Structure 1
Amino acid sequence: MADFSQILTTRPDLSDGDREWLHHLVADWQVIADLSFADLLLVMRRGDGRYVVAEQCRPSTVMTLRVDDVVGHEVDENLVEELDMVMASTKPVKSDHLTCVGRAQVCNVYTPVRREGRTLGVVVRQTNMATRESNGRYENESINAGKLLFQMIAREQFPYSNPVMSQRHVARVADGFILVTNEGIVRYASPNAISCFRRLGSLATMQGHYLSEIGTQLIHAKDPVPESLPLVLSGKAAVDSELDANRSAVSMRSLPLWDEMGRTGAIVLCRDVTEIRRREKELQTKDATISEIHHRVKNNLQAVSALLRLQARNTKSAEVKKELAEAQRRIQTIATVHEGLSQTADEIVDFDKVISKLLRMSVDLASMSDQNIHIGYVGRFGMMPAQDATPLSLVLTELITNAVEHGYEGRSEGSITVSVGRSGSNLNVVVEDDGSGLDSEESNGMARSSGSGLGTQIINTFVTNDFGGTVRWEPRHEGGTRVVLNIRLRAAQDYAQDYADDDALG
């Protein structure tokens, strides 16, 4: 089935500005459908002259006429004559007869979509006449407001050319709406809108009073006031804002109403977002606490690393000094992972950034001052939970340190490549060096590691016990050593969809 963007590509006569205007229209016309209690269709003419439904909008305030999508379908032949008439018009046109959609009797009203004096398409408002049998004031006020917005499409007044939208939870018609006059006086407020202001602490009657005064009376002297709030309360601009009072929060959005002479008033949509804001504050507090914990852990680890460094300086034993330096390096590895975690609001770290810094540090610490050893990467690790990131970083730094200390002994330069293939929680890592080869890195059939062999124990323990994986040491065909890790990340199942199979080794 064709979508809206694909249908627009069949109209090469449309400029980029025309396409953007149409996108703005369908992004914002839900409010017209909801106010009008009607389905909307955007109909456009194809290159062959036939009419096709480019987009549709179902109302959320009444049962829709159309269960199935009709986007991409050609328009019924009995509507073509009226569509031709509207395409040549600059004003809305009401059909002089009812049509049938399923079993419903439908009244069609058409408006041309105008921009810069040209007609880009037609919006068809389809009203189920069964919904007009018993309307009260709420329904009448809502329908009339929807008609005004609908008529603005033909005058190039809707969609708004410069709307200012900043809130994440924008109010909808069903949440509550207020109709204000050109002077900003409340002419009508729906029951839900009245309830919103009651929660804010307003007990006064809204109808007949300035909405700006009602809102201002709720704000205390030192309360922060968004710059956009006065524009919303007066209805003078297409903008949204939020009013906080009485430990409640209401998100509001103003929709100015225009006719041929100028602005006539506005619709102000209201939505009680008190519970949403409360939950957001709880999450912010939780995130800040987690980040602070990681930050403190990082600082404590760095303090331990500094103590080990101080101890190493004071010892006279070269062997003890080397062992302390190895312990310091491993603690610094864990601290670096926590540094990455302290900069995020969750338990996830961009492992590629963390490991590149750690491995470069491992190379610098293990190599001699006159050595130039390059390290490169193929593929990516991606985002990784802390539960996996910390042990994996220790494994990789041990492998790099081992390669530098034993593979490049007596050599001035070399190259190490880390290749990564990830598919969901399955991870394949290959570490290759062009050093002296496997013979120089083995002792009694086991891969040698720095110091007492603790590095090899760390690698084997984490890979086999923690990750349930395997480690394979083998000669590199071009000379050097190749280490292959096949592991399954323990905490990455929830993030598997973020990674594609094309990251796998080829």
Structure 2
Amino acid sequence: MLHASTDLLDEDIDHLHALVADWALLADLSFADLLLLVPSRTSSARAGRGGQTEFLVVAQVRPTTGPTAYHNDEVGSVVINRWVVRNAWREHRIAREGEPEWDGGVPVRTEAIPVRHGDKVIAVLARDTNLATTRTPSALESAYLQGANNLALMVAEGLFPFRGSPAELPESPRVGDGMMRLDGAGKVIFASPNALSAYRRLGYTGNVTGEDLRSVHRALNLPATTPAVWHAIGRRRPVEVELAVASTVVLLRAIPLFPGQTREVLVLVRDVSELRRREAQLLSKDATIREIHHRVKNNLQTVAALLRLQMRRTKVDEARDALGESVRRVTSIALVHETLSQTLGESVPFDEIADQITSVTVDLATTGARATTRRVGSFGMLSGALATPLALVLSELLQNAVEHAFDGSAGSIEVRVRRTASRLDVVVADDGAGLPDDFQLEHSPRLGLQIVRQLVLGEMQGTIRLQAGAGRGTEALLSIPLSSI
């Protein structure tokens, strides 16, 4: 929208993106909706000749601390020749309406803030307050509004958003979680009830208001955390620090306020004890699951070793071949569990598993065929629920190619992978003898192909077919919906 409808430069657009990433803070402190207005391309020439100014609303945010001023989404609407917006744009200073305007039966007062980037104003930020519930502000509301006014001045001076500062994380404190205001000397000049409660849970029994935050942290035996709060002023960007006492964990986000001669720190406070406890539980569960996968892998490797021992002792060729196939199948499943035991989360990088299965299958081949293999494309990350049956299917298709395609002669096998957002397509192609004329997969007596068909159609809800290759040989075409498991 910005590129198509305005004359803004790329660096100006980047500045506006950064503003929108952090402007929820200003909306919550202001108890007001924020609209980002940029002059349209068609109005620039008219404005220069004293004509009408036309602004386009390109972004909107509603406060979480108060009622919204607008029931509808204002993005995409056009504001034409509104004096408060025009004055902020032309005079490069904050402009305020005297009397509220009525929007859908709601009285709305607008304050227009010029958005400065470098030495120029590139947009206007409209701060629209719903006056339907206006009353004498409490000490908490006054503290919010004072912080909001300082941030608004910083927007007008080009000091907000903060340069080089990443956007807040989902767990970062919000205004409603708790707030403190510190003066330039580090004295707490205001603390909200939620902030007081957070420090009480940390073990501070006094009232932090009026205290030097450094002395408060020393009393909690947390002196090392205090300097980080002052780094916000020195570095002119927000700093987050975590306070932990026993099982209580409190997250602070220190935001410097420095418009004009003002030097303050706005500290947002959030008790994240329950969040950290759940994270610890998840890590413990994840470690337990990885340990289970590790033990399953070890047990499967023991089974494979016993089968190999029995295979070497068996004199009957047919029985030896059957045991060898069992070793290969057990090994394929063990590879998946081994990878899961080394991976955080429930997904595995399947390329590594596929390459190991290919190597194991060729090494355990009983026909003496000399097959070369290669993989084209990437499986990517797959869930454990999909990786296990796919590993077995891939192993069986490779074994089928090695055993039946080459008849003891040299050949090549290629595994081609194509992945989209919704499907995984795999082709196992060989240049061997090809399929019999009357071959039908659903009627094949081979145990391996029966296993493949059952896993693909049943467990993976996909499709499988075998057909003659483009030149010679056979192609096994496998298609799996990625949302199936």
Calculate the TM-score normalised by the size of structure 1: 0.82
- Pairwise mapping of residues 12-51 of structure 1 onto structure 2 (< 5 A)? 12-14=7-9, 16-49=10-43, 50-51=54-55
Give, as a single letter, the amino acid of the residue that structure 2 aligns with 1:282. Answer: Q
SS of equivalent to 2:180: strand
Q: Over residues 334-383 of structure 1, what are the superposed CA-to-partner deviations in whole Å (9 max), with x where a residue is unaligned?
A: 111112222333443344542343134323442888834334457x7665
Deviation at 1:91, TM superposition (A): 2.4
Cα deviation, 1:251-298, whole Å, max 9, x if unaligned, reads: 21111111323x521111111111111111111111111112112222
Q: Does 1:435 pair with 2:432?
A: yes
Identity across matched positions, percent: 36
Output one character per residue of 1:39-88: Cα deviation in whole Å (capped at 9) or x when no partner: 211111011012111211211111101011111110144x1x33332222
The residue type paired with residue 243 of structure 1 is: L
Which residue number corresponds to residue 188 of structure 1?
Answer: 190
CA contact (8 A) 1:226 1:242 kept: no
Q: Which residue of 2 aligns with 1:160?
A: 162
- Paired residues in the alignment total 474
| Secondary structure, counterpart of 1:438 in structure 2 | coil
Matches within 5 A, 1:47-86: 47-49=41-43, 50-77=54-81, 79=82, 81-86=83-88
Q: What root-mean-square deviation, in Å, do the aligned CA atoms of Structure 1 and Structure 2 show?
A: 3.6
Question: In structure 2, what is the Cα distance between the partners aligned to 1:465 and 1:54?
Answer: 49
Residue type of the partner of 2:219? Q
1:479 matched to 2:472: yes
Q: Map residues 457-468 of structure 1 onto 2, 5 A cutoff.
A: 458-459=451-452, 462=455
Q: Give the distance between the partners of 2:243 and 2:359, measured in 1 at CA.
A: 51
User: Which 10-residue stretch deviates more, 455-464 or 43-52?
Assistant: 455-464
CA shift in 2, pair 1:299/1:153, >3 Å: same
Closer, same or farther: CA 182–470 of 1 in aligned 2, 3 Å: closer
Q: Identify the residue that residue 275 of structure 2 maps to in structure 1.
A: 276
| Aligned partner of residue 243 in structure 1, secondary structure | strand
Q: CA shift at 1:307, angstroms?
A: 4.2
* CA distance in structure 1 between the partners assigned to 2:462 and 2:143 by the alignment: 68
Preserved contact between residue 186 and residue 211 of structure 1 (Cα < 8 Å): yes
Conservation of the 8 A alpha-carbon contact between 1:248 and 1:274:
yes
Residues 235 and 267 in structure 1, CA contact (< 8 A), matched pair in contact too:
no
Give SS of 1:135's match: coil
For structure 1, which segment, 398-407 or 472-481, has the greater mean C-alpha deviation from structure 2 after superposition? 472-481
SS of residue paired to 2:91:
coil
Amino acid of the structure 2 residue aligned with 1:392: L
2:390 to 392, 399, 421: 392
| Structure 2 gap segments, 5+ residues each | 44-53
484 and 85 in structure 1: CA distance in 2 versus 1, 3 angstrom threshold: closer
Distance in 1, Cα, partners of 2:346 & 2:106:
54
| Equivalence for 1:498 | none
Contact 1:93/1:111 (<8 A) preserved: yes
TM score, norm. by length of structure 2: 0.85
Give the conservation status (yes or no) of the 8 Å contact 1:166–1:240.
Answer: no
Distance verdict in 2 for CA 1:366–1:165, change over 3 Å: same
One-letter identity of the residue aligned with 1:247: S
Mark the runs of 5 or more structure 1 residues left unpaired by the alignment. 1-5, 496-506
Q: Distance in 2 between matches of 1:465 and 1:136?
A: 64
2:103 aligned residue: 101
Aligned to 1:326: 325
Q: Distance in 1 between matches of 2:468 and 2:164?
A: 65
Q: Deviations over 1:420-466 (max 9, x none)?
A: 78896x877654432112349989x9757xxxx65355445545775
The CA deviation at 1:219 is: 3.3
Q: Is the 8 A contact 1:212 1:230 kept in 2?
A: no
Letter matched to residue 174 of structure 2? R
- Rounded to whole Å, the distance in 1 between the matches of 2:233 and 2:444 is 73
User: What's the CA shift string for 1:375-433, capped at 9, x where partnerless?
Assistant: 4457x766544344323322331221122122112422234455678896x87765443
